[in-house]
Amino acid sequence: MYNDKVMNCFFNPKHAGVIENYSARGFTGSIECGDAMEITLKIDEREVITNAKFRAYGCTAAIASSEAIITLILGKTISEAENIRNSDIVNYLNGLPDLKLHCSVLGQDVLKDAICNYRKIDNKSEENEVICKCNNIKRKNIENLIIDKRIFSYRELQKLTNVGTICGKCENRVYAILSMAIEKENEILNLENK
Amino acid sequence: MPISHKIETIIKNYEYRNGIIYFDNNATTKIAPEVLYEMLPYLVSNYGNPSSLYKFSNEVLNKMNESREKVADLLNCSSDEIIFTSCGSESNNSAILSALQTNPNKRHIITTEVEHPAIKNPLTHLKEKGYKVTSLNVDNKGQLDIQQLEDSITDNTALISIMYANNETGVIFDIPKISEIARNKGVLFHTDAVQAVGKIPIDLQKLPVDFLSLSGHKIHAPKGVGALFVRNNIKFSSFLKGGHQENGRRAGTENVTSIIGLGKAAELSKKNLVTVNNQIKILRDELENNLLDTIPDIQINGDLENRLSNTSNISFKYVEGESILFMLDKNNICISTGSACSSHSLEPSHVLKAMKIQSIFLNGSIRISLSRYTTKDEIKIASETIPKIIYRLRQLSPFCS
């Protein structure tokens, strides 16, 4: 199914892990869709990527594409890296099966996300910010439920969206969104009372 | 080297598997040596067409009918109720189409959401042609709601087709009860028993089933042969039309050698039915317990009380099934997975989805299926290898800290 190059990147990735004190981090995908990638980059003052690592959840092609993107960006400047396309990942891997080409797209996406993060540009507008990465639940999904359906409990939100039901790391962020909404609600009530 | 020597060399290396641990016996099985032995003369010197009249062919015909007796004996039915086919899929298609053709006024079929594609896809095709198909849901253990089944039956129902045991989870449906309901309501009942035959006792004298499909290569016979049981008083319309073979019920010169292999395999299955399947269960349970003891965030899928003794469907959180498959493949262990990434459609297993398994477990599921050739040593190797692989993949996973 896969060629030797893909298999080699999968079995012996040389850049797996996380960089402590990274200069930029990129993330894309979700457990729901079966693939996810994270990259962390160390970037020096000349904007050269001096170190980079990945973590990936997904199939052989997803893990191999992650290794490929790291190999392709190491030693390059941010603006050089910006020009890397998913086809470069496919070429580096000597080809991917047609059904797995989307894994190379994930590689391009995660790089884009990391570069935006480095430049402090919001890759996703605020409402599209993914709160629960495991289930790919966005800020707007949660806010809509609070505002339109008047759901003010974390447990209820979990039941309706599955938010925070897998790794649970987003629990605090959901509570923050909830308390902000409640504060807003109280302000409006106070104004009305006055 | 003369060809006869080359053949001898292949036979000598019969047990040689290159160190492969084959844990995918619900996909296919090894041909039993006894089966090959029985088949060889008919591949080599006894090549007569069973339809010919001279004694050179009579011997082949007799041997083929001996096979029919053996298959009938395994299922406790009459040998004239067995039709040899090319595979389980052909048996399934034949049963469904015959039931519809002999009941032209009824246009409703009841089935389940978890059937094998060999049932699912023919029924989808019939749906497009205007038939009404009811697919019964399963619960999170993969079991049916018998009441829902009963309520779905109408005067328009031509056929109920429900698998005996599930290929992915090994979950066994209550076919005695379901077939009884069908019989009482006067509806034809077919069961795809490809995974159940040889693994659990099936007594067609007691079981009110009208059609039953089985496949040779799941019970240590070769690929390319199957059988369909059609109860004697049930009208049958042939699927493959042509010559008079199989009493006019399935045309085409018989796949003699494979049929002979299937007969021997059925005989061995009957002999091994209880004792060997108990031994396989002990090995399967040992492997599951070892994995449950050594790997956190893991779950066994299916109805654990009503499950084939050889099958284990296991899910691991934070890792994806296809990458487990290839890591195990590198360690010479063959398994299969229900993850979306491994399938040709990028859709996760319809069986686990129907059971509403959470996506984090669904995409990290593997199926291990053992056989009577599985050894204690192989279980030990797998028990040591799988935890290492899961640990390694979890280290790579951004969801696992």
Indicate the average pLDDT of chain B: 95
Residues A108 and A84 in one domain: yes
Interface of A with B (CB under 8 A): 2, 7, 10-11, 13, 16, 27, 31-38, 55-63, 99-100, 133-135, 165-167
B172 min Cα distance to partner chain A (Å): 29
CB B87 within 8 A of CB B117: no
Residues A33 and A82 in one domain: yes
- Per the CB < 8 Å rule, is B341 touching A35? yes
In 3D space, the residue among B311, B272, B275 whose CA is nearest the CA of residue B32 turns out to be B272
Mean pLDDT within A16-40 = 91
In angstroms, the CA B398 to CA A27 distance is 9
Residues A67 and A144 in one domain: no
- For position B124, what pLDDT does the model report? 97
Residues A103 and A162 in one domain: no
pLDDT confidence bin for B41, thresholds 50/70/90: very high
Write out pLDDT tens, residues B89-114.
Answer: 999 999 999 999 999 999 999 999 99
Domain span holding position A41? 4-118
Write out pLDDT tens, residues B140-189.
Answer: 999 999 999 999 999 999 999 999 999 999 999 999 999 999 999 999 99
pLDDT confidence bin for B293, thresholds 50/70/90: very high
- For position A124, what pLDDT does the model report? 58
- Per the CB < 8 Å rule, is B322 touching A60? yes
DSSP label at A48? Answer: B
Residues A24 and A98 in one domain: yes
Q: Nearest chain B Cα to A132, which residue?
A: B399
Mean pLDDT within B319-339 = 94
- Per the CB < 8 Å rule, is B348 touching A34? yes
SS (H, E, C) chain B: CCHHHHHHHHHHCCCCCCCCEECECCCCCCCCHHHHHHHHHHHHCCCCCCCCCCHHHHHHHHHHHHHHHHHHHHHCCCHHHEEEECCHHHHHHHHHHHHHHCCCCCCEEEEECCCCHHHHHHHHHHHHCCCEEEEECECCCCCECHHHHHHHCCCCEEEEECCCECCCCCEECCHHHHHHHHHHHCCEEEEECCCCCCCCCCCCCCCCCCEEEEEHHHCCCCCCCEEEEECCCCCCCCCCCCCCHHHHCCCCCCCHHHHHHHHHHHHHHHHHCCHHHHHHHHHHHHHHHHHHHHCCCEEECCCCCCECCCEEEEEECCCCHHHHHHHHHHCCEECEECCHHHCCCCCCCHHHHHCCCCHHHHCCEEEEECCCCCCHHHHHHHHHHHHHHHHHHHHHCCCCC
What is the set of domains in chain B, with CATH numbers? 33-272 (3.40.640.10), 275-396 (3.90.1150.10)
Residues A14 and A104 in one domain: yes
Cβ neighbours of B353 in A, within 8 Å: none
Q: Is pLDDT of B348 > 90?
A: no
Residues A187 and A142 in one domain: yes
Residue predicted with more confidence, B29 or A132? B29
Question: CB contact, 8 Å: B388 with chain A?
Answer: no
Q: Nearest chain B Cα to A13, which residue?
A: B396
Residue predicted with more confidence, A5 or A164? A5
Q: Nearest chain B Cα to A37, which residue?
A: B398
Q: Is pLDDT of A184 > 80?
A: no
User: How many residue contacts between A and B have a Cβ separation below 8 Å?
Assistant: 73
Cβ neighbours of A2 in B, within 8 Å: 326
ipTM above 0.90?
no
**CATH number for A93:** 3.90.1010.10
Of A59, A63, A166, the CB nearest to B360: A166
In angstroms, the CA A39 to CA A114 distance is 7
Q: Which of A86, A118, A150 is the last residue of a domain?
A: A118
- For position A30, what pLDDT does the model report? 82
Q: Is pLDDT of B13 > 90?
A: no
A85 min Cα distance to partner chain B (Å): 22
Residues A41 and A109 in one domain: yes
In 3D space, the residue among B116, B101, B161 whose CA is nearest the CA of residue B134 turns out to be B161
Write out pLDDT tens, residues B298-314.
Answer: 999 999 999 999 999 99
Of A7, A11, A34, the CB nearest to B340: A34
Mean pLDDT within B51-56 = 96
- Per the CB < 8 Å rule, is B396 touching A57? yes
Cβ neighbours of A166 in B, within 8 Å: 317, 358, 360, 399
Cβ neighbours of A16 in B, within 8 Å: 395-396
Q: Is pLDDT of A20 > 90?
A: yes
Q: Is A40 helix (H, G, I), strand (E, B) or coil?
A: strand
Write out pLDDT tens, residues A114-155.
Answer: 998 998 776 556 667 778 877 778 888 888 888 888 888 888
Residues A107 and A142 in one domain: no
Residues A14 and A97 in one domain: yes
Cβ neighbours of B397 in A, within 8 Å: 55-57
Write the CB contacts of B40 (distance below 8 Å, at least 6 apart in sequence).
Answer: none
- Per the CB < 8 Å rule, is A34 touching B398? no
Q: Is pLDDT of A164 > 90?
A: no
User: Considering its fold, how many domains does chain A have in total?
Assistant: 2
Question: CB contact, 8 Å: B3 with chain A?
Answer: no
Cβ neighbours of A104 in B, within 8 Å: none
Q: Which of A9, A103, A132, A134 is catalytic?
A: A103
Active site residue B341: yes
In 3D space, the residue among B22, B26, B34 whose CA is nearest the CA of residue B309 turns out to be B26
Write out pLDDT tens, residues A74-109.
Answer: 999 999 999 999 999 999 999 999 889 889 989 999
Q: Nearest chain B Cα to A67, which residue?
A: B396
- For position A78, what pLDDT does the model report? 94
Q: Which of A72, A97, A118 is the last residue of a domain?
A: A118
Residues A159 and A96 in one domain: no
Candidates B318, B322, B361, partner chain A, best to mutate (most A CBs within 10 A): B322
Q: Is pLDDT of B247 > 80?
A: yes
Cβ neighbours of B398 in A, within 8 Å: 27, 36-38, 55-57
**CATH number for A171:** 1.10.10.1100
Mean pLDDT within A154-180 = 84
Residues A56 and A138 in one domain: no
Cβ neighbours of B360 in A, within 8 Å: 31, 134, 166
Candidates A25, A31, A66, A100, partner chain B, best to mutate (most B CBs within 10 A): A31
Q: Is pLDDT of B342 > 70?
A: no
Cβ neighbours of A7 in B, within 8 Å: 326
- Per the CB < 8 Å rule, is A62 touching B341? yes
Write out pLDDT tens, residues B66-86.
Answer: 999 999 999 999 999 999 999
Question: CB contact, 8 Å: B396 with chain A?
Answer: yes
A125 min Cα distance to partner chain B (Å): 23
- Per the CB < 8 Å rule, is B323 touching A60? yes
CA distances from B352 to B162, B357, B367 (A): 17, 6, 11
Question: CB contact, 8 Å: B295 with chain A?
Answer: no
Q: Which of A52, A84, A118 is the last residue of a domain?
A: A118
- Per the CB < 8 Å rule, is B320 touching A32? no
- For position A14, what pLDDT does the model report? 96
Indicate the average pLDDT of chain A: 88
Residue predicted with more confidence, A31 or A69? A69
